[in-house]
Structure 1
Amino acid sequence: MPSFRARLDITGLRPGFAPPSVMEAATDAVGSAHLVEAHQLDVVAGIPRITVRFLVEPGAYDDENRQALRAADNMQHAVEEVAHTAKLAVLRRVRGRWVPLL
């Protein structure tokens, strides 16, 4: 099954939300339609970044990419309920490398 990563920079929490709610919102949003393989939090140049790795059902290459982009968009929308976000990146695993879609 095709593997994708959605990476999202977090610039701040919304009032009333704790840090764990960010990853929970992200994994719930992606996991509602796809199998979440892993998730992690990194700090890059002082900015928190969440990454959710997930699988998409096999199909036509472009359809798989569209599903992944839709999942990433849903993830960002869900995270925006609890935190402020910045740059979203979507990557696809191709022959052992992560290739950007967005």
Structure 2
Amino acid sequence: MPSFRATIQITGLRPGHAPEEVMDMAVFTVGAAHVVEANQLDVVAGVPRITVRFMVEASEYDAENQQARDAAASMAHGVNTVAVSGVLRLFRRSAGKWLAV
């Protein structure tokens, strides 16, 4: 099964939400349709960034990429209910490298 990772910058929390809710929401939304392999929080240049790594069902290359795009969009939508987010990026694992989708 192809492996993807979605990353999104977190620039703030919405009122009434705790920091851990951001990752919980990201993993929940992606995990609703795909197997989540891992997740992590990094701080890059002072800006928190979460990463969710997941797999999609193997099919045709473009269809796999579309499933991953849909998952990343769902993740961003879910995260935006609890936090203010920035740039969303999606990568596909190919020959040992992460390539932008």
Range into which the TM-score falls when normalised by the shorter chain:
over 0.9
> Gaps (5+ residues) in structure 1?
none
Shift of 1:69: 0.3
Identity over the aligned pairs, expressed in percent? 58
Measure, in 2, the Cα distance between the counterparts of 1:86 and 1:43.
Answer: 13
The secondary structure found in structure 2 opposite 1:43 is strand
Task: Note if 1:29 corresponds to 2:29.
Answer: yes
Deviations 1:1-49 (A, max 9, x none): 1000000000000000000000000000000000000000000000000
Match of 2:11 in 1: 11
Shift of 1:96: 0.2
Measure, in 2, the Cα distance between the counterparts of 1:21 and 1:45.
Answer: 22
> Gaps (5+ residues) in structure 2?
none
The secondary structure found in structure 2 opposite 1:33 is coil
Match of 1:93 in 2: 93
| Aligned partner letter, 1:11 | T
Measure, in 2, the Cα distance between the counterparts of 1:69 and 1:38.
Answer: 18
Deviations 1:31-71 (A, max 9, x none): 00000000000000000000000000000000000000000
Q: Cα RMSD (Å) of the superposition?
A: 0.2
The secondary structure found in structure 2 opposite 1:81 is coil
Deviating above 3 A after TM superposition, structure 1's stretches of 4 or more consecutive aligned residues are none
Aligned length: 101
